[in-house]
Amino acid sequence: MSDPADNFEDPADKHLEYAPRSVRLANQQGSTGAADGEFPRSLRHANQQGSPGAESEIPRVGLRPSAERNAKIWRQSLEPEIMHSPPSPWNPWWLVSLTFAVALGAAIGVYFVDGTTWRKAFGFSPNATEVRSRLDAPTTSTQVSSPALGLPLASAAPQPTNAAPPTAGLPIASAAPQPTNAAPAAAGLSIASAAPQPPSAASSPAGLPIASAAPQPTNVAPPRVATIEAPSASAPSIRGVTDTEIRFGISAPFSGAAKELGNQMKLGIETAFNLANDAGGIGGRQAKLLVADDGYEPTRTADTMKQLYDKQQVFGFVGNVGTPTAVVALPYALDHHALFFGAFTGADLLRRDPPDRYVFNYRASYAEETDAVVRYLVKMRHLRPEQIAVFAQHDAFGDAGFAGVAKAMRALRGDDSAILRLDYERNTVDVDNAIAGLRAHKTPIKAVVMVAAYRAAAKFIEKTRDLYPTMIYTNVSFVGSTALAGELMLLGPRYANGVIVTQVVPAVDGYSSAILKYRTALAKYFPGEAPDYVSLEGYVDGTLLLEGLKRAGPQPDTEKLVDGLETLRNYDMGLGTLISFSQSEHQGSHKVWGTQLDDHGHYQPIDLQ
């Protein structure tokens, strides 16, 4: 094989540029070989032994592996096939790979150099110095106490709404919850926080920048000032109160012998509520009444109170019906500090001295009603105290009425121990034992004060009218005047004529301002319902309650409502008497009106004094 170096002397050789540098230099110098210093040590050694440049004289054995490989590479580089091979075609994929590598490197670099900006741009995380609260509650701008005099703080967590404003009027941004009692940092400090701080964090030395919870770059710029929108300090949730309504409950009989009392009380309260709701409500809230049927049975009352308060989450109670049920309902309301307003009872149980804070009554008491009627019978009808008997329900209701009669007797210097009491059982019309007691009494009875519900009262009158044609029958307001008149008129006009009922509201067929407004509203919201003394009392209760709510302010709670009601002094509803409450007086009215049925079943006013 000829030495490829021989061809280098040919100036027409187009492949000279592919020869090794030593060969090109040798050719340029007109030599058949290159300088010794240009060849590898193995070639120079072979040349020194008298074999100048020939391939056959390059040693093939006896060399170290690395030297042998070098010699082989030099021999291959002089092969004519290699010297005359054209260059490889251009591959475009290396440019794509290079571009991707450059872009990836740039992205990684930007991430670490300015990670905050990068992450914010792609939505990976919020900027620690510009945070917006995303809570569902309404937001307001909030300031927290500065850890140092005149310091901008970077923080992203909600701040306490009652925190002191930052010193020197500097805005504060926070990226994490700040302790409410954290000690302030020294003056001139710039503090950035990205994590919760210990509650007893101590102040740092003056002039030292403080960073917490994350490594900070040494050349980072001072944190930017940001306005934080933190959750507003909304009022705590109040039972029964929402942005759109305020709920009250009534536990009353909506079934059984006394159901008309519950129905009429509900009707009156809802009339007052509807009237206020159509006028815009109370502070923009609609008043709503929720009902529970206790059947006028104390054994069911505990469940109805729990249903209204625990399950239906009422704000308070209004218009509960009955004394025996109040014996159960009242302690429950007091134990829960719940309002117990305008109960349909005159029992002293609800009229303590001083009054229970959460108990308010509109109506006069049974003691005041019975005192008024006993004085009427003695002073106006000229009866002796011993000629007056009491027909009473055998429970707390009857006890309260009987106690009122006994008190009136004592005031008239009568013998209260000689009073004849005739009982019947609640929710029944079994009056036979009462009639037997009346007939067995030795002293002639000329008047009976009834402390009874309407059906039992009507039955007693029915069975005694023929036995005692001149008997005077009176009843307290709880009887349900309209219902009683209806029951008696079914028996005949002579059973109704002359029956007296004491009232705690004016006559429903009058033309006073309050009565006209009540009748108009009742006809509007409950067409076909006749005006009734019980529903009128419910209407008055509802109106007074809503007036107290107005005075309680835009965010009412039970305490504010009680305070508002206690400011109700000399309130004129047009009833013919002024209504007043105070801290020592929780009964709004002490007025008792007298009415008497005629033979057409209509109540006519009578003067009790």
Mean pLDDT of 457-466: 97
Q: In which band, very low, low, confident or very high, does the pLDDT at 505 lie, cut at 50, 70 and 90?
A: very high
C-alpha span between 234 and 237 (Å, rounded): 9
Residue pair 455/445 in contact by the 8 Å Cβ criterion: no
Least confident of 27-36, 82-91, 342-351, 475-484: 27-36
pLDDT of residue 558: 97
User: Identity (one letter) of the amino acid at 449?
Assistant: V
Compute the average pLDDT of residues 340-349.
Answer: 97
**Would you say how long the chain is, in residues?**
609
Which residue ranges make up each domain of the chain?
4-83, 93-125, 126-176+223-230, 245-360, 366-509+596-603
Say if residue 415's pLDDT is above 50. Answer: yes
Helices (H), 229-322: 259-278, 298-306
CATH class given for the domain over 245-360: alpha beta
Would you say residue 203 has pLDDT above 70? no
CB 401 within 8 A of CB 389: no
- The span from the CA of 223 to the CA of 102, in Å, is 32
Where does the pLDDT of residue 104 fall: very low under 50, low under 70, confident under 90, or very high at 90 and above? Answer: confident
373 vs 15 pLDDT, higher one: 373
Q: What is the pLDDT of residue 60?
A: 46
Decide if 476 contacts 500 (C-beta within 8 A): no
Instruction: Answer whether 245-360 and 366-509+596-603 agree in fold.
Output: yes
* pLDDT band, residue 151 (cuts 50/70/90): very low
Over the Cα atoms of the chain, what is R_g? 51
C-alpha closest to that of 126 among 157, 171, 161, 170: 157
Exposed / middle / buried, residue 76 (Cβ in 10 Å: 0-12, 13-18, 19+)? exposed
Contacts of 60 (CB under 8 A, 6+ apart): 68, 71
154 neighbors 131 (Cβ within 8 angstroms): no
Alpha carbon distances (Å) from 159 to 138, 150, 167, 178, 195: 14, 18, 16, 7, 13
State how far the Cα of 458 lies from the Cα of 164, in Å rounded to an integer: 71
Alpha carbon separation from 259 to 17, 39, 288, 538 (Å, rounded):
120, 125, 21, 15
Query: Phi and psi at residue 397, in whole multiples of 5°?
Result: -60, -50
How buried is 269 (Cβ within 10 angstroms: 0-12 exposed, 13-18 middle, 19+ buried)?
buried
What is the overall mean pLDDT for the chain? 77
Half-sphere exposure of 102 (CA within 13 A, CB side): 6
Query: What is the model's pLDDT at position 105?
Result: 76
The residues that bridge with 344 in the sheet, in sequence order, are 321
Distance CA 265, CA 269 (A): 6
Cα 260 → chain centroid: 35
Percentage of the chain surpassing pLDDT 70?
Answer: 63
Calculate the CA dihedral of residues 385, 390, 396, 401 and round it to 10 degrees: -50
Architecture, CATH, for domain 366-509+596-603: 3-Layer(aba) Sandwich (3.40)
Q: Give pLDDT tens digits for 208-235.
A: 444 444 444 445 445 444 444 444 444 5
